[in-house]
Amino acid sequence: MLLIKGGTVYAPNYVGKKDILIAGNQIEMIADEIPVPVGLEIEVIDAEDKLVVPGFIDSHVHVLGGGGEGGYKTRTPEIQLTDLTLGGITTVVGCLGTDGITRSMTSLVAKTRGLEEEGITAYCYTGSYDVPVKTLLDSPKEDLLMIDRIIGVGEIAISDHRSSQPTSQELKRVTADVRVGGILSGKAGVVSIHLGDGEGMLQPLFEIINTTEIPITQFIPTHINRSKKLLDASIEFGKRGGYLDLTTSSDPEHLEEDEVKASSGLKLLLDAGVEIECIGFSSDAQGSLPIFNKQKEFIGLGIGSAQSLYREVKDSVKKDGVPFEKALKVITENPARILKLKRKGMLQKGLDGDVVLLSKDSMEIDTVIAMGNIMVKNRTAIVRGTFE
């Protein structure tokens, strides 16, 4: 049992100074004051000088590693548990990217289960950049129905020179299949869409939305801050109720030409009239960040970081003036809702005991609790992955 006392709670909406009691893996009580139970084994955490917020959700992570655009040696390494927990992440969604050959669905599901065994909550998408989708079983629908950790399809690449150049009809069929799979399994059944820098931008998605009964909420287009042009083109999608995902992994000191930091992109979308509920952040952690010249030739490589997720939220507050409780929603309540993670994203009685404590002055991550277990304390990881 854990008792967090006297913290300033954002759930993610501001609720004031509260105590939070966690028993087992879930929140049992939130109140103005909870007396320390007598005769029970309980750890008390003094949160008087802390902000207490929900555990962070990272909805797009290459948990097996990614890349390979510069040859075999550029395949990036698998993620480690503390790469996530030191960034406040208590729930992660894994995916495959460009390479759906040497990174397989069997390995992705196994890695997902491994992260759960190590103490956090983990899900994954089925497929990769390619259409037809390479699934674990016979179809995306079957994967959603029969594999508990699979919640959608992705990341399917469009408007990118590395995509499989799927036709509109192919995209429609994939989306319809995964939508029905989601309905039958009670899962989100979303399609994670990788957007490249091609001229088509979001047009393939608009075509599906305009010519079928598939709702706009079936898609999660990501990397929309790849360029200011793409970000501007995404505004209509957001205003129509679509979910927009900004990627946080980038080198703030060396942004690509016309690339927009996620923190600044959040402010731009809000100023353009996109509702906060339609916006999310994800890190693209362990994904390669390849650099191509104008001839689409590979000339350099970076690697995504999970710890960029909260960094960009903090920057949006401190540098771009976004209210804290609004900024917090893009890595808590919003992804929980769009991914149908009903026990995640908020601090509320009966939900999972995923909590992050932030230093009130610096807003730095101090303590991370996942499923009722302390993973990070005093900015130090006290639970490490099996091979760390």
- Tokens standing for residue 178: 């995964």
Query: Strand 43-46 relative to strand 50-54: parallel, antiparallel, unpaired?
Result: unpaired
247 shares a domain with 114: yes
204 shares a domain with 157: yes
188 in Cβ contact with 144 (< 8 Å): no
220 shares a domain with 139: yes
Rounded distance between C-alpha atoms, residue 66 and residue 77, angstroms: 7
Mapped onto helix, strand or coil, the DSSP state of residue 264 is helix
| pLDDT tens profile 147-195 | 999 999 999 999 998 899 999 899 999 999 999 999 999 999 999 999 9
219 in Cβ contact with 243 (< 8 Å): yes
254 shares a domain with 130: yes
Residue 74: domain span: 56-338
Q: What is the pLDDT of residue 253?
A: 46
Query: Which CATH number covers residue 36?
Result: 2.30.40.10
149 shares a domain with 229: yes
- Listed in order, strand segments (DSSP E) in 130-216 are 150-158, 190-195
pTM, two decimal places: 0.94
238 shares a domain with 220: yes
Q: Mind giving me the DSSP string for 287-325?
A: -EEEEE-TT--EEEEEE--TTHHHHHHHHHHHTT---HH
What's the domain count of the chain? 2
Sort 213 into a burial class: Cβ within 10 Å, 0-12 / 13-18 / 19+: exposed
247 shares a domain with 135: yes
Beta bridge partner(s), residue 157: 194
Residue 387 lies in a domain: no
Rounded distance between C-alpha atoms, residue 261 and residue 263, angstroms: 5
228 shares a domain with 119: yes
pLDDT in tens, the chain (388 residues): 999 999 999 999 999 999 999 999 999 999 999 999 888 889 999 999 999 999 999 999 999 998 777 888 889 999 999 999 999 999 999 999 999 999 999 999 999 999 999 999 999 999 999 999 999 999 999 999 999 999 999 999 999 988 999 998 999 999 999 999 999 999 999 999 999 989 999 999 999 999 999 999 999 999 999 999 999 999 999 999 999 999 998 754 445 567 899 999 999 999 999 999 999 999 999 988 767 677 777 777 788 999 999 999 999 999 999 999 999 999 999 999 999 999 999 999 999 999 999 999 999 999 999 999 999 999 999 999 999 9
CA angle 117, 120, 123 (to 5 degrees): 90
> Any catalytic annotation for residue 284?
yes
Catalytic-labelled residue, pool 177, 197, 284, 315:
284
Mapped onto helix, strand or coil, the DSSP state of residue 28 is strand
For residue 189, give the DSSP letter: -
247 in Cβ contact with 234 (< 8 Å): no
Beta bridge partner(s), residue 381: 376
220 shares a domain with 171: yes
Mapped onto helix, strand or coil, the DSSP state of residue 200 is coil
Rounded distance between C-alpha atoms, residue 97 and residue 25, angstroms: 32
148 in Cβ contact with 137 (< 8 Å): no
Residue 386 lies in a domain: no
180 shares a domain with 117: yes
Residue 207 lies in a domain: yes
Q: Mind giving me the DSSP string for 49-112?
A: TEEEEEPEEEEEE-TT--B-TT-GGGBPPPP-HHHHHTTTEEEEEE---S--SSS-HHHHHHHH
